[in-house]
């Protein structure tokens, strides 16, 4: 498997926040957008690193058809100066990524956040989202249900004493357009080392977009929980669940 996004969304109405605690670092996320042809998707994550207290900001840019990072990405910033702030870290990473964002016109196609399930949500299933793909009232279309499964993996000696188990993930639809299905969209072949010592996942949201001709693209936002300095850290990854390629998933 090639280098995959599985390692890991400017303020606007689409921005949303996953709360943090003093014991760990839960990154906030902000979707940036899709390219005109739906082949590229980018998002930003940012926060205060646990342990060090340094502000950081990362911008991830995916090639959705290849399910890989775009060459030269992601962009990562961590500021260690005494006067460092999250705002400064975000400004710097956005400046670093500006050429790529403009080249693919990502800010012109921000997509739609059609489902969101933050860790602060008490009653929702952390591994299941039922949603409609079109944000209109009255509703259009029938619901989809995306399910995340955690798959136990062999013990990793690097994670001894840090997590009780190592898990990979699997994503499948149990419902599409209101009809029962068993449609696999992603299954880890291994846990990428970039995820660290993974203890679990949360199905955090769905972002959709539309390409010329009307084809709809969808990306699942997933929070990865891994061993941090003082607790479980949360970082975001994005997995394409419906692409604009000829073999639409």
Nearest to 219 by CA among 110, 71, 137: 110
Q: What is the pLDDT of residues 237-247, one digit of tens each?
A: 999 998 865 44
Express each pLDDT in 48-91 by its tens digit: 998 889 999 999 999 999 999 999 999 999 999 989 999 999 99
Tokens coding 183: 């449609």
Residuewise pLDDT in 10s, the chain (249 residues): 333 333 333 333 333 333 333 456 999 999 999 999 999 999 999 999 988 899 999 999 999 999 999 999 999 999 999 899 999 999 999 999 999 999 999 999 999 999 999 999 999 999 999 999 999 999 999 999 999 999 999 988 888 888 888 999 999 999 999 999 999 999 999 888 888 899 999 999 999 999 888 889 999 999 999 987 777 899 999 999 988 654 444
**Domain for residue 17, yes or no?**
yes
Query: For residue 247, is it within any domain?
Result: no
Structural domain of 200: 5-242
CA distance 164 to 162: 7
| Chain centre distance of CA 180 | 26
What is the residue-averaged pLDDT of the chain?
A: 88
* pTM of this prediction exceeds 0.85: yes
Residue 41 included in any domain: yes
The answer to whether residue 19 sits within a structural domain is yes
Q: Which residues 6+ apart lie within 8 Å of 193 measured at CB?
A: none
Integer distance in angstroms from the first to the last C-alpha of the chain? 19
Domain count, the chain: 1
Which of 62, 88, 77 minimizes the C-alpha distance to 2? 62
Q: For residues 43 and 34, give the distance between their C-alpha atoms in angstroms, rounded to a whole number.
A: 9
CA distance 16 to 18: 7
Answer whether residue 105 is part of any domain: yes
Residues 48, 41 contacting (CB under 8 angstroms) = no
In a domain, 237, yes or no: yes
Q: How many CB atoms lie within 10 A of CB 59?
A: 26
Size of the chain, expressed as the number of residues it contains: 249
């Amino acid at each position: 498997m090639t280098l995959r996004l599985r390692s890991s969304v400017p303020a606007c109405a689409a921005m949303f926040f996953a709360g943090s605690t003093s014991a760990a670092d839960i990154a906030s996320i902000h979707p940036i957008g899709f390219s005109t042809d739906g082949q590229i998707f980018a998002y930003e994550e940012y926060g205060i690193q646990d342990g060090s207290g340094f502000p950081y900001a990362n911008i991830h840019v995916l090639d959705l058809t290849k399910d890989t990072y775009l060459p030269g990405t992601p962009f990562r910033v961590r500021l260690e100066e005494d006067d460092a702030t999250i705002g400064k870290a975000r400004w710097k990473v956005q400046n670093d990524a500006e050429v790529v964002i403009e080249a693919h016109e990502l800010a012109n196609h921000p997509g739609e956040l059609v489902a969101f399930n933050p860790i602060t949500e008490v009653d929702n299933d952390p591994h299941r989202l039922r949603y409609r793909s079109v944000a209109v009232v009255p509703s259009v279309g029938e619901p989809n249900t995306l399910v995340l499964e955690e798959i136990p993996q062999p013990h990793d000696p690097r994670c001894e004493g840090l997590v009780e188990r190592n898990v990979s993930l699997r994503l499948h639809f149990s419902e599409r357009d209101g009809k029962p299905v068993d449609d696999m969209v992603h299954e880890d072949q291994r846990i990428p080392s970039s995820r660290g010592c993974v203890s679990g996942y949360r199905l955090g949201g769905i972002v959709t977009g539309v390409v010329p001709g009307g084809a709809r693209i969808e990306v699942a936002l997933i929070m990865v929980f891994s061993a941090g300095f003082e607790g479980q850290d949360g970082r975001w990854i994005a997995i394409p669940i419906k692409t604009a390629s000829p073999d639409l998933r």
